[in-house]
């Protein structure tokens, strides 16, 4: 898988150059897909996230949007420090590296850097992973084998050097075959060697505790606690 960059009047586009159809700036614009009648579903998340029917197959378009106290002030704008330091380009390249490491993440298709004065806006297009449910929705019904597989997958990421500051119960997906996938690598990074999993596992535990139910705790304690 190779990445190439294209330039349009309003954006720089970083895209998978092996795709049968080449993404352009319109592919990162939700309104364009709505005009094509290609939006299949609106997905959760802070920004705009859409499941799309595209010429290269089902995909998810996510627009970056600020959270916290900055959201009312800047919304979807970020300080412009160059395309290579933008949210979309950084996440695209991190996902590309994780795919190369054969880790279970969505394949990146395209990312945009859209200058706007001293700021920029950005979007990311990734391959849609079918027939999945989030850990937040299935935690109370998981078997011991499910928890062991999740622990094994997370261990692979941590050994590869992944630091995921927003590892939570909505960013872990279980597919119909029983395999786990990890999502949402905005602000994540890859270190040169294995990393301490403690802060990430505790972040995941806090997100699970916000849910109703307690049946997940035994599996978490027996399998994921050891990752700390």
CA distance 10 to 114: 6
The predicted structure's pLDDT at residue 186 = 92
- pLDDT(77) > 90: no
Tokens of 208: 């699970």
CA distance 50 to 108: 15
> What percent of the chain shows pLDDT beyond 70?
92
Query: Dihedral sign, CA of 128, 57, 46, 161?
Result: positive
The predicted structure's pLDDT at residue 43 = 86
215 part of the active site: no
Query: Residue 7 — very low, low, confident or very high, per pLDDT cuts 50/70/90?
Result: low
Catalytic residue among 137, 140, 166, 175: 166
State CA 214 to chain mean position distance. 27
| Cβ–Cβ under 8 Å, residues 52 and 59 | yes
Residue 18 CB burial class (10 angstroms; 0-12, 13-18, ≥19): exposed
**Average pLDDT of the residues in 132-156:** 97
The predicted structure's pLDDT at residue 108 = 97
- pLDDT(214) > 80: yes
Residue 166 CB burial class (10 angstroms; 0-12, 13-18, ≥19): middle
State CA 86 to chain mean position distance. 15
- pLDDT(162) > 90: yes
**Average pLDDT of the residues in 92-118:** 96
Considering only residues 202 and 45, tell me which one the structure prediction assigns the higher pLDDT: 202
Considering only residues 102 and 75, tell me which one the structure prediction assigns the higher pLDDT: 102
- Per residue in 55-72, pLDDT (tens digit) is 999 999 999 987 776 666
pTM of the model: 0.92
- pLDDT(222) > 80: yes
The predicted structure's pLDDT at residue 4 = 64
State the average pLDDT for the chain.
Answer: 92
> Residue 164: which of 208, 201, 136 has the closest Cα?
201
The predicted structure's pLDDT at residue 70 = 67
Q: Are strands 78-79 and 108-116 parallel, antiparallel or unpaired?
A: unpaired
Query: Residue 173 — very low, low, confident or very high, per pLDDT cuts 50/70/90?
Result: very high
- pLDDT(48) > 70: no
Query: Residue 45 — very low, low, confident or very high, per pLDDT cuts 50/70/90?
Result: low
> Residue 124: which of 109, 139, 137, 141 has the closest Cα?
109
The predicted structure's pLDDT at residue 78 = 85
């Amino acid at each position: 898988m190779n990445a190439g960059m294209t330039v349009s009047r309003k954006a720089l586009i970083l895209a998978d150059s092996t795709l049968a159809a080449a993404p352009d700036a319109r592919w990162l614009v939700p309104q364009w897909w709505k005009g094509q009648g290609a939006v299949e579903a609106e997905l959760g998340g802070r920004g705009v996230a859409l499941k799309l029917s595209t010429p290269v197959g089902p995909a998810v378009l996510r627009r970056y949007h600020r959270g916290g106290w900055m959201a009312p002030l800047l919304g979807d704008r970020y300080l412009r420090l160059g395309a290579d330091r933008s949210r979309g380009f950084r996440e695209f390249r991190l996902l590309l590296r994780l795919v190369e490491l054969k880790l279970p993440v969505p394949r990146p298709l395209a990312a945009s850097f859209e200058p706007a004065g001293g700021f920029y806006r950005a979007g990311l297009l990734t391959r849609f992973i079918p027939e999945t449910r989030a850990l937040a929705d299935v935690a109370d019904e998981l078997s011991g084998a499910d928890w062991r597989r999740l622990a094994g997958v997370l261990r692979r990421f941590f050994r590869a050097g992944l630091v995921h500051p927003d590892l939570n119960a909505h960013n872990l997906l279980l597919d119909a075959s029983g395999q786990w996938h990890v999502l949402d690598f905005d602000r994540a990074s890859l270190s040169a060697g294995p990393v301490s999993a403690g802060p990430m596992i505790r972040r995941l535990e806090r997100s699970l505790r916000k849910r109703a139910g307690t049946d997940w705790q035994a599996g978490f304690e027996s399998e994921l606690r050891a990752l700390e």
